[in-house]
């Protein structure tokens, strides 16, 4: 009986940790964000002749978390964004994100911006977007 009381909590902890790890892992199906600073993203966009998608969020923002969890992990969104854009994401209240928040005169979070390879704003949207809404916005901005 003592073994059962020891094994059950241990199995529960293992299951909990495994579930959290799986839920938090980066999905290969969603948007793959560029891991570099703003200047490197601009250089990459120019070199590849691609627009830049900018997600500016705050760590405390509920709609930002939902966007990351539900929209950015969507397979169709990931396929489109990964093939068409240099995707960037910055915390608007930390380091370089503060500079970008000021540059783009943010009014709230999340703010989603699409720029051409030269930095001209093609789209500027605030708030949570479903996968269908986000695809529609960027495709419209791209003239599709």
Helices (H), 68-110: 75-84, 96-103
pLDDT exceeds cutoff 90 at 4? no
How far does Cα 27 stand from its chain's mean position? 11
**What are the structural domain ranges in the chain?**
26-141
pLDDT score at 144: 87
Q: Which stretches does DSSP call E strand in the chain?
A: 52-57, 86-91, 111-115, 121-126
Residue 56, SS3 per DSSP: strand
pTM across the whole model: 0.80
Fold adopted by 26-141:
Glutaredoxin (3.40.30)
Tens of pLDDT, residues 26-41: 457 899 999 999 999 9
Distance, CA of 78 to CA of 112 (rounded, Å): 15
Q: What average pLDDT is seen over the chain?
A: 87
């Amino acid at each position: 009986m003592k073994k059962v009381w020891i094994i059950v909590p241990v199995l529960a902890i293992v299951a909990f940790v495994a579930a959290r790890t799986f839920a938090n892992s980066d999905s290969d199906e969603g948007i793959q964000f560029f891991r570099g600073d703003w200047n490197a993203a601009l250089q990459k966009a120019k070199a590849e002749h691609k627009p830049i998608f900018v997600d500016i969020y705050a760590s405390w923002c509920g709609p930002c978390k939902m966007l990351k969890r539900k929209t950015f992990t969507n397979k169709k969104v990931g396929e489109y964004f990964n093939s068409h854009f240099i995707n960037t994401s910055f915390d608007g209240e930390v380091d370089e994100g503060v500079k970008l928040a000021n540059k783009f005169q943010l009014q709230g979070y999340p703010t989603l911006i699409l720029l051409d390879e030269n930095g001209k704003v093609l789209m500027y949207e605030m708030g949570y977007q479903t996968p269908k809404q986000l695809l529609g916005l960027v495709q419209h901005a791209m003239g599709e």
